[in-house]
Amino acid sequence: MTLPPNGPPSDADLIAAWRGGNEGAAAELVRRHARALARFLGAAGAGEDVEDLVQETFFRAFRKIDGYRGGASFRTWVIAIGSNALKDSRRRSRRRPVVPLETDDIPDPRNDPHAEVVGHELEEKVAGCVQRLPRLQRDVFLLRAQQGMEYEDIAASLDTTVGAARVHYHHALKRLKEWLS
């Protein structure tokens, strides 16, 4: 299948082209959505595994592309797959011991000004508070605040209702405000 000549192709056009054997269409889908997926996974606590999880997510997505029905946006569908990949990764990591590396003795090569240090500390505090949220509240918060997704897409992505997504977002905001004040 060839892509439409006028303007950029839609995700649906790219999916159809990929199903028809166009490898470039898959590359374009990854290019469009990998950064948002990586931001979501990073904020959801993927840590150093973000790149691996992004690759795993797209591997799963293209392997199961026939299961994509278009009820939600492709990005929403991919983020849902990424969320599941992160959960699977966490389950696997609980089964094997992790030996932390001591980094206190490694000097930071940057000479950051005071304002950058304060900003970094605040960023870490916010990230830590986000990690303390219950999983569903955290995921809803990240999809809404970081990705700018609408509640309908969040509900589809996390397999919940729109009302529940709104409630989880409200509770997440309330908790974060309490913890950060």
- Say if domain 1-95 classifies as CATH 1.10.1740.10: yes
Report domain extents, the chain: 1-95, 115-181
The full DSSP string for 115-167 is HHHHHHHHHHHHHHHHHHS-HHHHHHHIIIIIT---HHHHHHHHTS-HHHHHH
- Please return the burial class of 90, using the count of CB atoms within 10 Å of its CB with bins 0-12, 13-18 and 19+: middle
Decide if 58 contacts 14 (C-beta within 8 A): no
pLDDT of 115-159, one tens digit each? 566 667 777 888 888 889 898 889 888 888 888 888 888 888 888
pLDDT tens digits for 168-181? 888 888 888 888 88
Q: Which of 3-12, 15-24, 96-105, 116-125 has the highest mean pLDDT?
A: 15-24
Statement: residue 99 has pLDDT above 80:
no
115-181: in CATH 1.10.3720.10: no
What's the predicted TM-score (pTM) here?
0.59
